[in-house]
Chain A
């Protein structure tokens, strides 16, 4: 089925192929699912009960958002696949999440920094999608942007606490920055599908999101008494299906039941 609420998208979408919207919506779905999965690995093992709850909460929000995207992607594709088919029966090379979100939890500092980098992009993207001509994406953004603003507040506060906490917390955060900063750039680097949607006016040019993202990062790092990281060699590939080794293991766990018992209802 074609997206019918915007004639420009429909016009650019040949009837036989799903067009650029399908891979993009799938990318959003994969991204939220993989990060939710990672956060859910903390469940029962958090540093303090309140933060265990907070991480489960964020995971639940992202999982809910992922489901909305998968359902929409399935509808766009129009081949009878369900949200579960898309999540459970695609291989790692078919997954479209950016490399950042599949990175392991490591310690709490890594989890926080991964979340901060993602939230800062996610929140600003959703804000821009509120006025998206594709009404379905706009509706999902409307539902998710408030949650994303809480996520960003939470991860920003923790970056500040860890940076301006103890020597150990600062050192751990610096290590997380050294490991994860290089995955940030992929978030705002458009893939061919994203470029096509930007040209159609469905997606904002990511350059327009950068000033607000950078201003927020500068504020948080100043509060955390941390120097802003300099330029790094960015790692990219997840959004086009080239992942780190971590994703395969994550998917083998995520997809275990569906792969072991094909075609059953749970």
Chain B
């Protein structure tokens, strides 16, 4: 079921020793088959990272009129990193990204888990409702951004519904109030990605053996006890995977946020990706951007390395 950590060659090595000629053919073929992927990984990982290190030590900008490889003329050493450590906008973007994650992922998890419980056994209409629930996650995120942009207009349908419910005209300016704007983008993220949690958690729940659940019930366990002692513990790996996927993707969040608010008002919805994008496109200080990007890559590598080694141990 879980295959995340097995990168050992499966079943193949003992056999290749058996036949010398076939062994050589297999070696050549194995090498050739994996070569394109290896090259692409090198192309996107090694070279860019070296370039990133180099540029991050300079004050280079594409506006300077010198090509990137002559950026040494603008060598400034570690200044970019020192600036970064004291850049309040950077730290607030990091902080905001984490807050968004800390709200979105648990809400998506709980909603997804609740829905999965409702869908775990057969009932009329199950298939059609299942497919319908999945629709939001298949909508292009940028398009989802436009949808919510329209919804949150002060004359838009959300205020319309609120007006209807409250019986008086509601004119909330969702996207120009800093707190409400953040709430708005969080809602759009929850809307789009709860179905993913649901999909993964339901698959996990369905893979919990039926007879174990029956055995628990026959031993006198009620619904809650069965759920917390059999179903949830058996879903542990899947829950970790589902949350990990959402945490990773949520950290990168850009499309719908940028389209709904452009990071604003002010910097109220500026996540780390939006911040980097703005510095890249608007301020054009690429030496600094390289430093930010590298810092994030290093932190992520350490965090993911720790997570993976812990997963391998457990």
A, B from the same assembly: no
